Amino acid sequence: MKSRPSDYNIRMDMRLAAAVAAGKAVTWLSRRLGAGAGSNFPGKVILRLHADAPQAMASRLPGGCVLVSGTNGKTTTSNLLSGMLRAGGRLPVHNRVGANLITGITAALAQASDLRGAPRGDIGLFEVDEATLPAAVERLRPRLVIVTNLFRDQLDRYGELESLARRMDAALAGLNPGADVLLNADDPLVSSLGRDTRATVHYYGIEGARDTEKALRHAADSKHCRECGSPLAFDAHYFAHMGRYSCPGCGRSRPAPEFAASRVELRGTAGSRVTVVTPGWSADLFLGLPGLYNVHNLLAALGGAQLLGLGEEAVRGGVEGYSTAFGRGERIPIDGRTLFLVLSKNPTGFNEVIRTLRGEGEGLVVLAALNDRIADGRDVSWIWDVDFEELAPLPRRLVAAGTRAWDMALRMKYAGLDTSRLEVRGDLREALRAALAAAEEGETVYALTTYTATLELRRLLTRLGAAPGLWEEG
Amino acid sequence: MKLGLPELRICHLYPELMNIYGDRGNVIALVWRCRRRGWEARVTRLSLGEPIDPSRHDLFFIGGGQDREQMMVCEDLAGEKGEALRAAVEDGAALLSICGGYQLLGKRFLTCTGENLPGVSLFDAETVGGDTRFIGNVAVDCRLEGAESTLVGFENHSGRTRLGPGCRPLGRVIRGYGNNGEDGGEGCVYRHAIGTYLHGSLLPKNPRLADWLILRALRRRYQLEALPPLDDALEDAAHRAALDMVLREGKRPRLSPRRRLPSPR
Ligand SMILES: [Zn+2]
């Protein structure tokens, strides 16, 4: 039996349909004009026409919404989780390419919807900028929120970590009692979240890693207990401020993870072999993504999949069928050489990449592109927190590129790189040409690029015919 | 006066608490510029509860920090430790303080939440927390004797600092907000001590200021007319690129208390 929709509902539906149609038209147009991927403009148009459009569309997803937030690893985690959901027979609606503000989520929903605003998919999977989490929770009423880690990335946008954490706590306090929260146990700030939530809190973390660091690096952020302010004591450091810690002041310690990696074997840029342990099962997985930080991304996705009711088979399928998140550790053949493209957008990310590069030997050709656009953070001071001293012995040629190419070059000089090995090419196209020319046939060029530089380089490669377009990947 | 090759003894204060925007790059630049001249540079890191011996260091450095860290450092600097820092500067030691560190070396810092943090009173300056942040690239016309040049950097602060007659500004703002967004002054100088809001890091792209500090610091113990020059082609190019960029950005809107910047919080 069908109830008769009221005039009001019909009017609302028509408004939503009009907004969705306008959003689709704008998206189509901006792609035709070659405007950037993940552009926020279509979302802005939709919200202007219908302020409640995201919740109206999201409420039609039978499986609800999942939000993935945190400073690093949002895209990799949600791409891994998306693969697991697909392997488990679900159809996620997913905001790709880092469009992680409300506008980007709105555009993604509209893109996946029919003209009445009903999404063709059964679960929403959205990566959400840390500062957008409160608004996203309020609008989308998620059934699961995953928080990967918190770094003082882009403080010029967010203010301080502590106030960011407070706002995230307030967001989690707004969750429904039946919802789940999945937190990184190895990040002391993240694991302190969720104190006021009525949702169920779960943790993931690394239990066995041989490749730990002896001391906290200076780029570490969260070294003090959030409860009492005492310096935390660590018996193992994984990277940055991630590790096994406890507070000598108030006794707070790292929560025991429900989803854990009991053994990790890093294999350079090729990836890692990881033994995972969950409440239901354990398995050996090969993850084709380098570094310990990607083991965290794997655990976050795996925990999320379990909490959404998926089993071992779907998780395995998702990990094995995973093609790297756009730009994050991608190998692209060009001119008889291989371009290894890695997003490196903050000290922690950069330090991890440098650690991985050290396994590749010396005499490398490196392209380092530093942009200072709004999405990168206008302030590039953070490059002085990166351990470029460990990178300096590796390149036989380093091409500094991007809007802040000179800052990058100067940082490398002060890190100890001989200036005869250094070349400055602000323009990315020229920089790419110089780096390829410096490499031998069959050699790899390592491109370390900040967020917008990654987008730019990827577009350039598409134009040169070296990489498939962003729109063809799924 | 000592004979032999100079050795610069740097005291890096609160390195793990006060290093919010890559301020350690300043220490890297100081050390590097000494070693390139064949001289030794030694860095001593001092943190909470560790006393300062004014005679054991030639140059002090303190960077910027977040509110909580700044509070801890403020408490630690009260009393003898701040006294020792003042004594060193009175005796001719050089000092560079950035952002939060600069604020703590003034007479007091009144935060926007109403807390009154007493400062070290090395600088005749007072800071009041504002409800908007001054964020962006900065260019400064530096009037420091022996280091007349432009300075380039990045500012990100909500504090408004006003100088008293006991110190003078480091320079005049060409672009950006500077000390308080109103009087056009940026930073402050007292003897060989400098306070400034400029991150960047500051010294790598402003090598003349770096050498000004090194020369003043060393002159306390060594007979030095000037520093041997270094090849600063890359430094100068980076300086020019940053200067061109900030000049292209144009003038920023003047902030009155009613007109707000889009604030990050
Ligand atoms: Zn504690």
B92 touches chain A (CB under 8 A): no
What's the per-residue H, E or C state across A102-120? HHHHHHHHHHCECCCCCEC
- CA B91 to chain A, closest CA, distance in angstroms equals 31
**What are φ and ψ of residue A419, in 5° steps?**
-65, -15
Model pLDDT, residue B257: 42
Model pLDDT, residue A15: 79
Classify each residue of A430-442 as buried b or exposed e, where b means 16 or more C-beta atoms within 10 Å of its C-beta.
ebbebbbebbeee
Out of A378, A379, A406, name the one closest to residue B238 (CB): A406
Residues of chain B positioned with their CB less than 8 A from the CB of A163: 265
Between the CA of A372 and the centroid of ligand 1 the distance, in Å, is: 37
Residues A409, B68: C-beta atoms closer than 8 Å: no
Angstrom distance (rounded) from CA A201 to CA A195: 9
Q: pLDDT per residue over A254-305, tens digit each?
A: 999 999 999 998 887 778 899 999 999 999 999 988 888 899 999 999 999 9
| Pairing mode of beta strands A337-343, A328-334 | antiparallel
For residues A301 and A374, state if they share a domain: no
Angstrom distances, CA of residue B45 to CA of A380, A411, B58, B68, B230: 25, 22, 13, 20, 27
pLDDT category of residue A375 using cuts at 50, 70 and 90: confident
The residues of A whose Cβ lies within 8 A of any Cβ of B are 131, 152, 155-163, 218, 223-224, 229, 378-385, 403, 405-407, 409-411, 413-414, 419, 422, 424
Please tell me whether the peptide bond between B201 and the residue prior to it is cis, using omega within 30 degrees of 0. Answer: yes
- CA B56 to chain A, closest CA, distance in angstroms equals 24
Q: pLDDT per residue over A122-135, tens digit each?
A: 899 999 988 899 99
- Tell whether A1 is covered by a domain: no
Which residues 180-219 of B are in CB contact (within 8 Å) with A? 199-201, 204-205
Is the confidence at residue A250, as pLDDT, over 80? yes
- CA A408 to chain B, closest CA, distance in angstroms equals 9
- CA A229 to chain B, closest CA, distance in angstroms equals 9
**Which domains are seen in chain B, by residue range?**
7-259 (3.40.50.880)
Residues of chain A positioned with their CB less than 8 A from the CB of B16: 218, 223
Size of interface A-B (CB pairs under 8 A): 92
Out of B21, B67, B136, name the one closest to residue A382 (CB): B21
Q: Which among B76, B136, B70 is positioned nearest to B103, based on CA atoms?
A: B70
Residues A218, B16: C-beta atoms closer than 8 Å: yes
Between the CA of A297 and the centroid of ligand 1 the distance, in Å, is: 27
pLDDT category of residue A239 using cuts at 50, 70 and 90: confident
Say whether A341 sits in a helix, a strand or coil.
Answer: strand
State the DSSP code for A218.
T
Residue range of the domain that includes A407: 328-472
Spell out the residues 6+ positions from residue A350 whose beta carbon is closer than 8 angstroms to its own: A344, A383, A386, A387, A388, A448
Average pLDDT in the A409-435 region? 96
Residues B21, A381: C-beta atoms closer than 8 Å: yes
Q: pLDDT per residue over B213-258, tens digit each?
A: 999 999 999 999 999 999 999 999 999 999 999 999 877 655 544 3
What the block records as the tokens of B18 is 């006060």
Q: pLDDT per residue over B76-110, tens digit each?
A: 999 899 999 999 999 999 999 999 999 999 999 99
Model pLDDT, residue A208: 76
CATH number of the domain encompassing residue A214: 3.40.1190.10
Angstrom distance (rounded) from CA B228 to CA B211: 10
Spell out the residues 6+ positions from residue B248 whose beta carbon is closer than 8 angstroms to its own: none
For residues A350 and A307, state if they share a domain: no
Active site residues of B: 99, 199
**Residue B114: other Cβ atoms inside 10 A:** 7
Domain boundary (A320, A343, A360) is at: A320
Domain count, chain A: 2
Q: Which chain A residue has its CA at the smallest distance from B31's CA? A: A414
- Tell whether A16 is covered by a domain: no
For residues A78 and A171, state if they share a domain: yes
Between the CA of B72 and the centroid of ligand 1 the distance, in Å, is: 15
Between the CA of A254 and the centroid of ligand 1 the distance, in Å, is: 11
Q: Which chain B residue has its CA at the smallest distance from A218's CA? A: B16
For residues A343 and A264, state if they share a domain: no
Say which residue, B177 or A130, is predicted with more confidence.
Answer: B177
Angstrom distance (rounded) from CA A390 to CA B28: 14
Angstrom distance (rounded) from CA B150 to CA B139: 7
Q: How many residues does chain A have?
A: 474
Q: pLDDT per residue over B152-166, tens digit each?
A: 999 999 999 999 999
Model pLDDT, residue B68: 81
Angstrom distance (rounded) from CA A326 to CA A334: 17
Residues A218, B19: C-beta atoms closer than 8 Å: yes
For residues A132 and A233, state if they share a domain: yes
Identity (one letter) of the amino acid at A111? Q
pLDDT category of residue A328 using cuts at 50, 70 and 90: low
pLDDT category of residue A211 using cuts at 50, 70 and 90: low
User: What DSSP line would sit under A347-401, residue for residue?
Assistant: HHHHHHHHHHHGGG-SSEEEEEE---STTT-S--GGGGGS-HHHHTTSEEEEEEE
Q: Which among A220, A230, A180 is positioned nearest to A204, based on CA atoms?
A: A180
- Tell whether A11 is covered by a domain: no
Residues B265, A158: C-beta atoms closer than 8 Å: yes
For residues A295 and A385, state if they share a domain: no
Q: pLDDT per residue over A141-161, tens digit each?
A: 999 999 999 987 655 455 578
For residues A302 and A341, state if they share a domain: no
Is the confidence at residue A173, as pLDDT, over 50? yes
Q: pLDDT per residue over A58-81, tens digit each?
A: 888 899 999 999 988 888 899 899
Domain boundary (A320, A354, A382) is at: A320
Query: What pTM did the predictor assign?
Result: 0.69
Out of B32, B154, B238, name the one closest to residue A379 (CB): B154
Average pLDDT in the A302-326 region? 84
Write out the E strands in B164-235: 171-175, 185-186, 188-190, 193-196
User: What DSSP line would sit under A14-42, residue for residue?
Assistant: HHHHHHHHHHHHHHHHHHHTTPPTT-SHH
Residues of chain A positioned with their CB less than 8 A from the CB of B265: 158-160, 163
Average pLDDT in the A332-347 region? 87
For residues A346 and A278, state if they share a domain: no
Domain boundary (A320, A339, A373) is at: A320
Residues B25, A378: C-beta atoms closer than 8 Å: no
pLDDT category of residue B1 using cuts at 50, 70 and 90: low
For residues A102 and A172, state if they share a domain: yes
Residues B204, A410: C-beta atoms closer than 8 Å: yes
Substitution target from A371, A406, A420 for chain B, most B beta carbons within 10 A:
A406
Out of A163, A384, A403, name the one closest to residue B201 (CB): A384
Angstrom distance (rounded) from CA A23 to CA A314: 33
Residues of chain A positioned with their CB less than 8 A from the CB of B252: none
- CA A112 to chain B, closest CA, distance in angstroms equals 31
Angstrom distance (rounded) from CA A391 to CA A353: 10
Average pLDDT in the B129-153 region? 93
Pair A124, A92: CB distance under 8 Å: yes
Q: Considering only A33-42, A82-91, B18-27, B224-233, which range has the smallest mean pLDDT?
A: A33-42
Classify each residue of B130-141 as buried b or exposed e, where b means 16 or more C-beta atoms within 10 Å of its C-beta.
bebbbbbbbbbe
Spell out the residues 6+ positions from residue A160 whose beta carbon is closer than 8 angstroms to its own: B66, B67, B265
Residues A409, B136: C-beta atoms closer than 8 Å: no
ipTM score here?
0.93
Residues of chain A positioned with their CB less than 8 A from the CB of B21: 155, 379, 381-382
CATH number of the domain encompassing residue A453: 3.90.190.20
Is the confidence at residue A93, as pLDDT, over 80? yes
For residues A245 and A347, state if they share a domain: no
- Tell whether A388 is covered by a domain: yes
Residues A409, B24: C-beta atoms closer than 8 Å: no
- Tell whether A289 is covered by a domain: yes
For residues A358 and A294, state if they share a domain: no
Residues B22, A382: C-beta atoms closer than 8 Å: yes
- Tell whether A247 is covered by a domain: yes
Q: Which helix (H) or strand (E) holds A422?
A: strand A422-424
Residues of chain A positioned with their CB less than 8 A from the CB of B133: 159
What the block records as the tokens of B199 is 């991150």
Q: pLDDT per residue over A215-233, tens digit each?
A: 545 445 667 888 888 888 9
For residues A246 and A264, state if they share a domain: yes
Q: Which among A64, A45, A36, A49 is positioned nearest to A107, based on CA atoms?
A: A45
Pair B191, B122: CB distance under 8 Å: no
State the DSSP code for A327.
T
Work out the percent of chain B whose per-residue pLDDT is above 90: 80
Spell out the residues 6+ positions from residue A72 whose beta carbon is closer than 8 angstroms to its own: A148, A149, A151, A153, A293, A346, A348, A349
Pair B172, B140: CB distance under 8 Å: yes
Pair A146, A303: CB distance under 8 Å: yes
The CA-based angle A65-A66-A71, given to 5 degrees, is 140
State the DSSP code for B50.
P
Angstrom distance (rounded) from CA B146 to CA B220: 17
Angstrom distances, CA of residue A403 to CA of A56, A406, A408, A428, A440: 40, 8, 10, 9, 27
B68 touches chain A (CB under 8 A): yes
Angstrom distance (rounded) from CA A388 to CA A224: 26
Angstrom distance (rounded) from CA B49 to CA B65: 18
Angstrom distance (rounded) from CA A137 to CA A145: 9
- Tell whether A53 is covered by a domain: no
- Tell whether A458 is covered by a domain: yes
Is the confidence at residue A396, as pLDDT, over 90? yes
| Pairing mode of beta strands A144-147, A65-69 | parallel
Q: Which chain A residue has its CA at the smallest distance from B234's CA? A: A410
Angstrom distances, CA of residue B237 to CA of B206, B210, B234, B244, B255: 11, 16, 5, 10, 32
- CA A424 to chain B, closest CA, distance in angstroms equals 10
Substitution target from B18, B28, B249 for chain A, most A beta carbons within 10 A:
B28
Residues A407, B32: C-beta atoms closer than 8 Å: no
Say whether A453 sits in a helix, a strand or coil.
Answer: helix
Model pLDDT, residue A462: 85
Say whether A446 sits in a helix, a strand or coil.
Answer: strand
